[in-house]
Structure 1
């Protein structure tokens, strides 16, 4: 019985990770690239500094996910924010944090930098 409960809990965990976060707008890499010329859009990369230094793209600014809550005051709440990471998981978490703090125009790049290349 305990084994079945564990299997169900583990299965539920993985299913919950696959479901998109409510209120988060996902955009494609092409949609993100189209926004690069817009001066009213902020671009943040929430990967680690090592990942960012290994490969990055302008105009993304590196704010690691772990530092994001402390750096919210450096972002303009009235501007759109395009958020990227390596695969889209951390940027979805970052977008959720932004939404909770009143950033209503946060966009998660589906596929992250893996899809960007």
Structure 2
């Protein structure tokens, strides 16, 4: 029983530490804040291609989280990166990958695509 308690505490401490470290480099933007800057940034949708085809923010590039490590060369370190996914969890993981690979100006859409009310494009 004591071992389980120690493991649970360790997992909580690890998760909290990771969250706090991520908050130091990942800006979480409201839709309005996101709209103000995404045209000057690299706008990346990290959802899978089938999700992207059903609808995405106008001007976004699709680099799925599952392919991000293989496609890092497509992301410039010297330009801001604006990320989004469906709800926020995949874009947080993508932010960690990008940060570890030299990107320093990373922002995420709060609530993800499901909360987006702006212009979208769908594949016909």
TM-score (normalizing by structure 1): 0.81
Residue 77 to residue 7, structure 1, CA distance change in 2 (3 Å):
closer
Q: Which ranges in structure 2 are unaligned for 5 or more consecutive residues?
A: 118-124
> In the alignment, which of 15, 23, 26 is matched to residue 25 of structure 2?
23
Q: 2: distance between equivalents of 1:2 and 1:47?
A: 40
Q: Which ranges in structure 1 are unaligned for 5 or more consecutive residues?
A: none
Partner of 2:121: none
The answer on whether the counterparts of 1:88 and 1:112 sit within 8 Å (CA) in structure 2 is yes
Per-residue CA distance 1:32-72 (angstroms, 9 max, x = gap): 1112442xx11000001111111111111100001011111
Map residues 29-68 of structure 1 onto 2, 5 A cutoff. Answer: 29-38=31-40, 41-68=41-68
After the TM superposition, list the runs of 4 or more consecutive aligned residues in structure 1 that deviate by more than 6 angstroms.
none
- Alignment size in residue pairs: 115
Residue 73 to residue 7, structure 1, CA distance change in 2 (3 Å):
closer
Q: 2: distance between equivalents of 1:27 and 1:44?
A: 14
Partner of 2:104: helix, strand, or coil? coil
How far 1:3 sits from its partner (Å)? 9.3
Q: 2: distance between equivalents of 1:25 and 1:37?
A: 16
The answer on whether the counterparts of 1:28 and 1:110 sit within 8 Å (CA) in structure 2 is yes
TM-score (normalizing by structure 2): 0.77
Over the aligned positions, Cα root-mean-square deviation in angstroms equals 2.7
